Structure 1
């Protein structure tokens, strides 16, 4: 893996050595913050649509009803409620996570605007729910990583759908099981290519954040030898991105790039191949 020489050129070893562990922990945070206290839940207003006053159980049943005209509204409402810890648990207990996963499109080609809106609403809800340990276990058991990766890889989809996919992948990658699963998928190479061709700063930021989570030493150490190609793809894309962008690299992008290369260097120098 051609890390050391290019690392010195692109990032500067002195700066990398000075980077603190605290900085890494800060930037591992993704868009989905810890849910606020339940006390912050707003009381239902008389002006809300009747669907907005239904409880979690009713909303999940609506999501499970094929052809219901209220599915999109129910999914969005579950997404709103999934910000709060109490509702996160309820949604999981009532089977809402599996119901949402079952709604993810199998074929994303030629999606109309309604299908895109529904897909985005599902991804937003799952993103919020993925920060809960039990809920993540349900998602991982349902192979959500494969499904979301397949949606992201559809070239016909625009950023309005792919960015929510990326946010969910970022959250999933904070869990070791999902991180190791994602490293084995072809989507890693797609993401590496997208980083080098992205015309959106938000897109680049999210890909780098995902790479930070994927290269966390706690989950990377056990798979670095078997997923060598994925790790090399991540490092090469990260360094090339910094070289191409030059002075246009933001401080956050620069810091995340340092973390990625440092993490991989740390792991690859401490894990040696088994001698046959």
Structure 2
């Protein structure tokens, strides 16, 4: 009987070890995917105050708007000042519904209006990754927003008017690559949030998505991403777009600056080439060969 006891104990231990290893492997895979989701979502740009040498994802970046200045929160796993006590479900509700664990409503300076399109798996992976970063015990500054725009209850009315929380639905008439690009632009990468005009209440002008924003909060003119309006970007090819998002170089050999420089450094410059090609495909970019990328390739090959 003792022999059988030792054998069964050994088998149980082996099963536990195997299960633990499988769980760790799953976590590592989720963490890796979550890190990439963070990159395509541009979390570092908004939640790391590099200008003031702030710590990774500890918040404090000021977003200046016509309604006042909103400061991004600490999203490290610190239990007092960050999201360390949040469950995965609370995190998903915050990202897709704009509702905090205490039931209060987030202001749409936080682009949950786009994150609502994200898949559950991407959100779960993102939370898994965020749980691994270094906790930072520092509170983000309070928003500097005047009445009545500082009333969170008013966001219920705003959401009723402007918030579409329906998930992303692939277009079956389009290619897998086109749909991936549509998901990125309208979901986690939230390109529509900056490259679309807004109405007087801060809602996206849904009739003019991606047509640019001449009066951005930072005083920059955000360009159109359409191909039909004669803008500079409308003349970019598929390769131009991929190379520009990857390296920040325009077809003329100039470099993109301003807010887009930060986007390239923290977001598109870290994306896979396949995802960048998907974005270019969704934006309807033709595959011409008069590009900065092709010129560099030719010079490097000696042709």
TM-score normalized with structure 1 length: 0.24
Normalized per residue, which structure has more helix? Answer: 1
